[in-house]
Chains A and B, each alone.
Chain A
Amino acid sequence: MITLSNIHKSFGSLHVLRGLDLTFREGEVTAILGPNASGKTTLLKCILGLVGPDDGTITVKDIPLSGSERYRRWIGYMPQIAQFPENLTVKQVLAMIEDLREEEPVRKEELIKSLRLEPELKKPLKTLSGGTRQKVSAVIALMFDPDIIILDEPTAGLDPLSSSVLKDHIQAEKKRGKTLLLTSHIMSEIEELSDRVVYLLEGQIQYDGSVKKLTEESGEVRLERAVARMMQNGHAKPSEEAADETLTDQAT
């Protein structure tokens, strides 16, 4: 379980996260959505410890993140763009991660097999296509059977077959009661995988609820439409909000 309370983060004058309060539960797949630069990636990076929030607290399994790296043992992360030491083979990269984590992989063989990575194991990374790299990255994220799985655009660059295999794995993890977070630009994928959508806009939560509720509320059949509508509506909003904020700032 992950809880975020009152998370603020600025990069220079850019206020990226503005007081987020969120809880991610076990057995739930949460999709983080939002337009570009809405703070999705920063939110994930905060949980991963790549970015330190300016204010607020994050706890993972009730343990507050305070500079210790140990909680990352519970997290499997699949980044948007994966890059590894180019001259190592796939096998060596996997061995390296095992070695660094000092953990025995639980689901390695299964993942390699289902993603059809065997023929690539002995090839150096520099010879592999982007899709194959993504598969390696997926294996790394899932093979230790982590309690928390964070996937940043997991199917981008994957062929349809691998994409569906990966989705099956995600479903399976959910059934195992894992906490899953994902971002994606493919709305059908989110519809297929997620239970819950968190829609961020300008660093704030615009919407937080189930996929079903979102489509119902918006009156659209497809999630894509619903999200698009939210985007349209949302763009009108921030200026008012910003104005409000300035007023309150001045008042206090």
Chain B
Amino acid sequence: MQTISLPLSSLWKILKYGLYDVMRSRWVLFYGLFFLAATDVLFRFGGTGERVIVSLMNVVLYVVPLVAVMLGAMFLYNSREYVTLLLTQPLKRQSIFGGVYAGLTVPLCLMFLLGVSLPFFYHGGITPDVMQAFVLLLFSGVMLTAIFVALGFAIALVHEDRVRGMGLALAHWLFFAVVYNGIVLFIVYFFGHYPIENGVVALTFLNPLDLARIILLLEFELSAMMGFTGAVFRQFFGSGMGIGLAIGALFVWLLVPLGLSLRYFKRKDL
């Protein structure tokens, strides 16, 4: 009978030292500065908090997953010996996995949150009417970071070859960010005269990026622009339950690759 409880104390320790390490590395700082600069520039050129949020949406939806999946894979490839060192210590594999995963995800999320929030505070961009959108933007960014780092980890775990792994990471991003929508658009365009609305709603759930995009866009313009044809869609995502389900699905998108990776990692020969 194997214990399934996560030994959290060693996970926290690994995370703690992982944070010491990662927070001192230049690329994490650069990542934070990128968001800081982007948000600041948007404020200086665009003005209002709402406009900035709309412009940041694309950054969050496309840059965050790209960086997360690539860094996730690369980080694991680079930490291979370190992970081995940890494995030879009296530590459970799940705490090592959790600690190393969190050791990348937490600093990335922190940098994202800080980089985006700081300009909002000092430019006074947070007003009550954009509060919800702002929170959703931060939430989406954090979720997408966590999901795509997990995806990068999964890829790097399964594929020993680093070049192949990095290529696959990029391919995954391309698929979720571009190709997937191409396929859906194709389906929608050629089968739009059938009642496919429920299908379109379902398709959204199969792509975490799309989920985040819809959650964010509904906050801004999408619901109004859907018109009557989009009624099912609008009603679904417009309801508390729909948004709840979408957010829940994002968590599923996080936990599934993470769980599968952990399972794989626990059995893997290193």
Interface residues of A (CB under 8 A from B): 11, 45, 48-52, 67, 69-73, 75, 77, 79, 81-88, 92, 96-97, 99-101, 124, 140
Q: A51-B270, A100-B10 are in contact. Are A70 and B87 (CB under 8 A)?
A: no
Q: Are A82 and B21 in contact (CB under 8 A)?
A: no
Q: Could you tell me the distance in whole angstroms from the C-beta of B79 to the nearest C-beta in chain A?
A: 8
Q: With a CB–CB cut-off of 8 A, which chain B residues contact A72?
A: 88-91
**Is B229 located at the chain interface by the 8 A CB criterion?**
no
In the docked arrangement, what's the CA distance between A52 and B93, Å?
Answer: 13
Q: Residue on A with the closest CB to B86?
A: A100
Q: Which of B22, B79, B89, B269 contacts A97 (CB 8 A)?
A: B89
Q: Could you tell me the distance in whole angstroms from the C-beta of A101 to the nearest C-beta in chain B?
A: 6
Q: Could you tell me the distance in whole angstroms from the C-beta of B91 to the nearest C-beta in chain A?
A: 6
Show 16 residue pairs from A and B whose CB-CB distance is below 8 angstroms, ordered by the A residue: A11-B269, A50-B269, A69-B93, A70-B90, A71-B90, A75-B88, A77-B88, A83-B80, A83-B85, A84-B85, A85-B82, A96-B17, A99-B13, A100-B13, A101-B89, A124-B24
In the docked arrangement, what's the CA distance between A24 and B18, Å?
Answer: 36
Chain B binding site: helix, strand, loop or mixed by DSSP? helix
Q: Are A87 and B13 in contact (CB under 8 A)?
A: no
Q: Which of A52, A92, A96 contacts B269 (CB 8 A)?
A: A52
Cβ proximity bits B249-270 to A, threshold 8 Å, 1 near / 0 not: 0000000000000000001011
Interface residues of B (CB under 8 A from A): 2, 10, 13-14, 17-18, 20-22, 24-25, 79-82, 84-93, 267, 269-270
In the docked arrangement, what's the CA distance between A77 and B14, Å?
Answer: 19
In the docked arrangement, what's the CA distance between A67 and B94, Å?
Answer: 12
Q: Are B14 and A100 in contact (CB under 8 A)?
A: yes
Q: A48-B87, A100-B10 are in contact. Are A83 and B81 (CB under 8 A)?
A: yes
In the docked arrangement, what's the CA distance between A75 and B81, Å?
Answer: 18
Q: With a CB–CB cut-off of 8 A, which chain A residues contact B13?
A: 96, 99-100
In the docked arrangement, what's the CA distance between A48 and B85, Å?
Answer: 10
Q: With a CB–CB cut-off of 8 A, which chain B residues contact A70?
A: 90
Q: A69-B90, A79-B85, A100-B14 are in contact. Are A88 and B269 (CB under 8 A)?
A: no
Q: Which of B2, B88, B270 contacts A67 (CB 8 A)?
A: B2
Q: Are A101 and B90 in contact (CB under 8 A)?
A: yes
In the docked arrangement, what's the CA distance between A36 and B2, Å?
Answer: 36
Q: A69-B91, A72-B89 are in contact. Are A85 and B269 (CB under 8 A)?
A: no
Q: Could you tell me the distance in whole angstroms from the C-beta of A234 to the nearest C-beta in chain B?
A: 26
Q: With a CB–CB cut-off of 8 A, which chain B residues contact A97?
A: 89
Q: Are A87 and B25 in contact (CB under 8 A)?
A: yes
